[in-house]
Amino acid sequence: MLKEEIKKLAEEYFNDTVSHRRYLHRHPELSFQEKETSTYVVSQLEALGIPFERKANTGVVAILKGTKHSSEKVIALRADMDALPIQEMNETSYKSQNNGIMHACGHDVHTASLLSVIRILQQLTDKFAGTVKFIFQPAEEKIPGGAKVMIEEGVLENPSPKNIIGQHTMPELPAGKVGFHAGNYMASSDELYITVKGKGGHGAMPHLNIDPVPIACQLISSLQQVVSRMAKPQVSSVLSFGRLIADGAANVTPDEVKIEGTFRTTDEGWRKEVHKKMDKLIHSVVAGFGATCDFELRKGYPVLANDISLTQEMKVHAETFLGKDNVMELDSWMAAEDFAYYAQIRPSFFYRLGTGNEEKGVHAALHTPTFDVDEKSLKVGIGLMSYLALKLL
């Protein structure tokens, strides 16, 4: 009966959820700048009479208590709110109104869903005991990550949740389905910033220069050996370089070359080893050609590890709510998520919400200017999270 009641409420609040999502999609804001988004969330909480507090400047934390009987158990549900520096290419009634900023990762879906989950659970307080903490988090897309800042400001205290649940859109998965992965699911994420410093000059007289361009090319090639020849084959690793700036000319050798890249892995032990190996390799390669370099490694998010027993438990409940055919096993994903910080502290569970629809042409990948979702997925987004929360309590 609880399952059917939640599905009925998810249907009832569906149109409002779509409205939330479209408003947020029209007004995207970058990491740590989510002032209007935060104000919108607060206005909805105030309308429902839900107590809340602000954290990390634009973050919002709300509380809802069950009335079935007395219980000290606490769980938390999390949604992220920030958008990306992408110019939207979609032509829809809810297209981004903020030039160069877009909800291209589905955080508008996450926030809208959590607002409706609050409404559903508010209608069912007599069905559960304990407390639900709703975390509306800023800045998932930018190091150091809003989760880290929220934790530092006490989001996991007073009261302290035993478990935390989060969801994320997945355009590769059809709307109506969800995806689970127990254990290490998402990769760590570190950023590399290298400046190779040589001696510029006339391109016709290379013997008088220390050309940083071929040195940078050699360095990129050598660093790939860290992943292809130093990592155990069983360990997932990715090293990618997306920016190379050699600002000379056709006949001008520049003084320096800047390189930017990312390293990701699903093994924290190997991650620490790689940091040392890269530092040693970079300086030795550059020195071998008579140049010098600056190397900055910005440590990003840790590996996101889904608690195995919690994930298995949630999978059973999801199959009950959606049917076994709609609950998929996922491979590990080399993207990164600051939800990982919560999972380091409390047994947590992060799952994927299918949002794609090939027939409607809704299949663009995350972080692209044509990303969109089949909004029918919002029924699952609000219904399943509500059901899993109550099962945890």
pLDDT of residue 63: 98
Question: Locate tokens 């009335």: which residue?
Answer: 67
DSSP 8-class letter at 328: E
Give the pairing of strands 74-80 and 163-174. Answer: parallel
pLDDT of residue 141: 97
The amino acid sitting at 10 is A
Catalytic residue among 29, 80, 140, 307: 140
**Which residues neighbour 73 within 8 Å (Cβ) at sequence distance 6 or greater?**
129, 130, 131, 162, 393
pLDDT of residue 244: 97
pLDDT of residue 82: 98
140 a catalytic residue: yes
Side-chain-facing half-sphere of 314: CA atoms under 13 Å: 33
Catalytic residue among 29, 34, 82, 372: 82
Cβ(328)–Cβ(180) under 8 Å? Answer: yes
pLDDT of residue 356: 98
Task: Record the tokens describing residue 261, joined without a space.
Answer: 């890249």
pLDDT tens-place string over residues 71-87? 999 999 999 999 999 99
Q: Can you state the angle between helices 377-392 and 14-26, rounded to 10 degrees?
A: 110
pLDDT of residue 269: 95
CA dist 271 and 268 (Å) reads: 5
Going by C-alpha positions, the residue among 118, 119, 128 that lies closest to residue 74 is 128
Cβ(196)–Cβ(257) under 8 Å? Answer: yes
Question: Locate tokens 């206005």: which residue?
Answer: 43
CA dist 223 and 143 (Å) reads: 23
pLDDT of residue 74: 98
CA dist 230 and 216 (Å) reads: 21
- Look at residue 277 and give its three-state secondary structure: helix
pLDDT tens-place string over residues 11-57? 999 999 999 999 999 999 999 999 999 999 999 999 999 999 999 99
82 a catalytic residue: yes
pLDDT along the chain (393 residues), means of 10: 96 98 98 98 98 97 95 97 98 98 98 98 97 98 96 97 98 98 97 98 97 98 94 93 97 98 96 96 97 97 98 98 98 97 98 97 98 98 98 95
| Domains contained in the chain, CATH given | 2-186+303-392 (3.40.630.10), 190-299 (3.30.70.360)
φ/ψ (deg, to 5) at 177: -115, 160
Going by C-alpha positions, the residue among 247, 265, 266, 268 that lies closest to residue 257 is 247
Task: Record the tokens describing residue 77, joined without a space.
Answer: 């549900």
